[in-house]
Structure 1
Amino acid sequence: MTLPASFQLSFDLSNIIGPVTRTVLRLGSLAVLHDINRSGSDGITELRLAALLGRHRVADYLKENFKSIVADSRQSIISRVLREEQLALEVGSGPTVQQAITNPNPAWLSMVIQMSLLAFSQEQQSLAQAITTVSCKLSRGAAVDFRQELDYVSVLGAITACQQQTAQFPWTGFFERTEDKIFKDVQNGQHRKRYRKRRRLNNATQQENLACVFERSLPFVILQTLVMNLVSIQDFPEHRNLHLRTYSGSSTIIVWCYYVLGIGVNVQINGVGMQFGDNPRIFLENCQPFEASATLLDAAGENEPLFKLSQVEEDPPIQGEDRTTARGFIRRILMLSGVSEKNVEAQAHSIAAHCIRLLSSTAQPSVLASLKVTSMASQVERNLLGAVAFLFDIAELDRCLVSELLGKIQQKK
């Protein structure tokens, strides 16, 4: 599909591939590009990705926080034989991140931060295919001779490099904070509307409607629009609004636009409104599956539509990656499924009691004797309680309550 002139304008005016390339070559960075290639990525591809994503200005606070967390790097020699071959195990920032941090052109760091975010929330292979497709569409629709089409293999290598070299950055906290806020606001909003009778039938439906939050994958049309138009939102904040309708990836959009780029986002889900930041320029609402769309509006012209893109069957699918911390993993799964805080705590103690019962009923007497599993104070049971507390993110389980539940379970047997 050929992109309209208004869609091309922000890209043609903001094309920075030339300045980025000249900066690298002027700094004598061919050796850096060589190191990037040796690490499994591709230096020229990263330059082109910097031209594509690096136009977006990252919020200062996140930029500094990101650099301080991912800057450390250390190497370990695997063996003396491999040392002679200059092969080592590298942990932390590699050539891609080091170049992004030290390069005076901010485009490279902007690209790495955004690629790190996308690699965290999207499956890498489908993300690489989607970015390659966006590049292809731009090359076909550009008003000038624009030859920087990306190839899938090189993009995948760059995504992998960004993900691996920035793995220590805590994207999990940004996503969970966003998803928890939306979930609680929607819950509270529906209670205020007093949909008591309907909500008896609505718990399962509610989870389907909230899939746009918990499912982090971006529909291709949303990814394409954000890649190409966030720069115009930042450059002309008083003249551009972006209206997005999506059935998945809301948390990814909010983390990307608000936390990373500092653009205010207004969200409408199931008739409940909430806002991230001041003066929102991105307006997000949920929709039915496969009906995603994006509309760029002229805010100065009474929100006159400048262009609209809608999802089509030919769009490449993007899969999501549901990453979270190990601590509290079960708690998060239950709470995202609508289980209340009180019931989560009760389930944790019940599961601990059932596990202890299962341990005592299946272990052989010789094993019990060797492990000295004789009471609630045993080491094995303490470890078991600790594991349950870890997965439910509870400081310490109530041993008396676990013992009480265990007694009830044994009576039923």
Structure 2
Amino acid sequence: MPLQVENAYAAVSLYLNAVLQPGAGYGHVDGCGTVVGDSTSSIECRVSTGVVRHDGDLVGVSTQDIALQPGDPQHPRKDLIYVDRFGDVRAKQGRAAAAVPSDRSGWQTWVPAPPSLTGVDGVAIAVVNVPPGATESGDLSNSTDILDLRVPDTSGILNTRSSDPPQEDLTKSQFWHNTTTDKIHWYSSESDEIRALDDSPVTSFTGSATKVLENFDDSISDNWRGGDSSFEYSTPAFEGSASALWDGPGYTTDWSLPDDGLPQYVDIGDTANLAVYPLADTKRIDLAICKDEDDAQRDIRARLDFEGGRVETVRVDENQTETLGSSSVSASADTWYILEIDYDGGGKGVHPSRLWSTSGSSKDSILAENAAPTKDTTYRGRGVGVHVAVAGRIDRLTKTR
């Protein structure tokens, strides 16, 4: 059984374990796609014919249907689908819980979390979201309720021009790259069979375009750098039950870097969005990206200068600030806005920023924009930070690709 990552971060540990499996001799080789079945009397999923590697051996899988337990009356649940060492498809049931974010479903939520791989001697191939009250296959959707966990296992690939396996000992299942056909082949010692894999590259991403990084409904100390925060929680909220509030006499800055606790981080090509709510005495609210690797204040920010009536793209270097782009804006206190910045949206080191008005819990229209700020490649980190001077609320941090 491969090394297991603890399920302390349940929403991500399962996917990380799936990635780690091939290195330990567990992984997906061919086929084994999972789709919703057609049963009207139970929740049924169908796994297609294929091959997996289990503890280093290639195992054939025939087309099989797997029945899941009915959905919880109130909350969704995520079940793990895997293949055991005999090629049998099995399911490990997850625990039902209220969805987070509450306005999303299926693989767009990180709560409820799927069960961990702990104790599972098999190859993970899919996570199935079971909606509340589901009793039959028709209650599930392939597009929103099936998350593919198949991680290609290319361990042990060799180069050879032979149409036969590169080793004379055919008692061992193996992969190799056949340069004559320019395809990856696999040989199963169990069935004494050679097959070529479909090596067509993936050219597009069809997952969710917007990812929620933080919704501030839970204790912020559990996420931002794993320590205490100066923010408190109170209403009103842009989304959810509460927003993070700073109302001290000075300012506060909170950062999170990769591995600190946020489920994802802003990367090149992403747009970061933060709901901001200035109060009467707010001076400014910043959304920061591209942090220097140390802990000093060195970063690139989108800034709502509420006191000065501007939206800016700025570079902050400890106590010095350089304005890279600025636009005038008329913003009101006690109103939700979306502060936004593009990581390299105008080219390397060019980070356009803008302020949106909001309608309900979504964007409405652009109030001010710095479409072509000055190029600055000083900082190229991947952290995310927020800065509030004197007072203000923040909520729902997302990234969009």
Calculate the TM-score normalised by the size of structure 1.
Answer: 0.20
Q: Going by fraction, where is strand more abundant, 1 or 2?
A: 2
Calculate the TM-score normalised by the size of structure 2.
Answer: 0.21
Q: Which has the higher contact order (CA 8 A, sep 6+)?
A: 1
